[in-house]
């Protein structure tokens, strides 16, 4: 039976209370991604910036499944993806290319979530991208940017183009690749990803019946829904949804706080 390396027993004692709280939030987000079936084996990443001048980040160990990740097992890395704290786990510097670009360019992008779900990839491969055919899509579509596929994201020069395409948006479809969201908190980034992924899933199902059978909303409705969502998702995620989601993981996947 394969066994995983155990994190140092004293991680909690080595970090600040603020960092530990971020570790718990990020570990919870990894468990939620696994719970919803959004994980891609050990691939893709969720990251969060640790406050301070060091520009350090927390990210997953490269050799753990998402449902195995705990607050202590998260790896603290620098902007190059290299560990800055003792860890028995492997890291994937190349996998941090996308995350580092967003973190370094956007002061508000404290948390970054990047996924490769089948529904997200399907919409990323569709010429029209995300269509305003469901309420969920309308709520997130105004915050959505697009970035064209350039191959596996290991080229550091791609970071400038990625950041330019992202602009000031908080969600992105990486063409032929997947989805990405950012937030000032892990909870905000997760809720935006939830809306984006649900919208992609609904679109794939709706198009299964043929584009000719789609019912498009009345003119002006998508813009109205976008205005209603502006600012509201941040409040809902921080005050309502994220605490409830953490309680759910405490029931369904206990252990992420370790």
CATH numbers and ranges of domains, the chain: 15-246 (3.40.225.10)
Rounded distance between C-alpha atoms, residue 94 and residue 97, angstroms? 6
pLDDT (tens, 9 = 90+) of the chain, 258 residues, equals 566 667 766 899 999 999 999 999 999 999 999 999 999 998 899 999 999 888 899 999 998 999 999 999 999 999 888 899 988 888 877 667 888 889 989 999 999 999 999 999 999 999 999 999 999 999 998 999 999 998 886 677 788 899 999 999 999 999 999 999 999 999 999 999 999 999 999 999 999 989 888 888 888 887 887 777 776 777 777 789 999 999 999 999 999 999
Query: Which of 37, 85, 38 lies closest to 61 in space, CA to CA?
Result: 85
Residue 1 confidence (pLDDT): 56
| pTM, full prediction | 0.92
**8 Å CB contact between 30 and 40:** no
Residue 125 confidence (pLDDT): 98
Write down the residue that tokens 């002006």 correspond to: 220
Residue 2 confidence (pLDDT): 65
């Amino acid at each position: 039976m394969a066994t995983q390396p155990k994190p140092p027993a004293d991680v909690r004692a080595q970090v600040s209370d603020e960092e530990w709280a971020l570790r718990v939030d990020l570990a919870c987000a990894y468990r939620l991604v696994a719970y919803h079936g959004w994980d891609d084996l050990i691939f893709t990443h969720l990251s969060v910036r640790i406050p301070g001048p060091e520009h350090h980040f927390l990210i997953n160990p490269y050799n753990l499944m998402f449902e195995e990740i705990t607050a202590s097992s998260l790896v603290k890395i620098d902007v190059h993806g290299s560990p800055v704290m003792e860890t028995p786990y492997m890291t994937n510097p190349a996998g941090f290319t996308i995350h580092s670009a967003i973190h370094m360019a956007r002061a508000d992008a404290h948390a970054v979530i990047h996924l490769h779900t089948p529904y997200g990839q399907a919409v990323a491969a569709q010429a029209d991208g995300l269509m305003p055919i469901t309420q969920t899509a309308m709520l997130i579509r105004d915050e959505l940017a697009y970035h064209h596929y350039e191959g596996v994201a290991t080229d550091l020069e791609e970071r400038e183009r990625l950041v330019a395409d992202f602009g000031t948006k908080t969600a992105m479809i990486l063409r032929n690749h997947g989805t990405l969201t950012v937030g000032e908190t892990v909870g905000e980034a997760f809720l935006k990803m939830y809306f984006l992924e649900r919208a992609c899933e609904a679109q794939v199902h709706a198009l299964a019946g043929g584009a000719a059978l789609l019912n498009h909303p009345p003119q002006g409705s998508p813009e109205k829904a976008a205005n209603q969502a502006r600012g509201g998702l941040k409040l809902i995620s921080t005050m309502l949804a994220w605490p409830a989601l953490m309680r759910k993981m405490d029931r369904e996947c206990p252990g992420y706080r370790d």
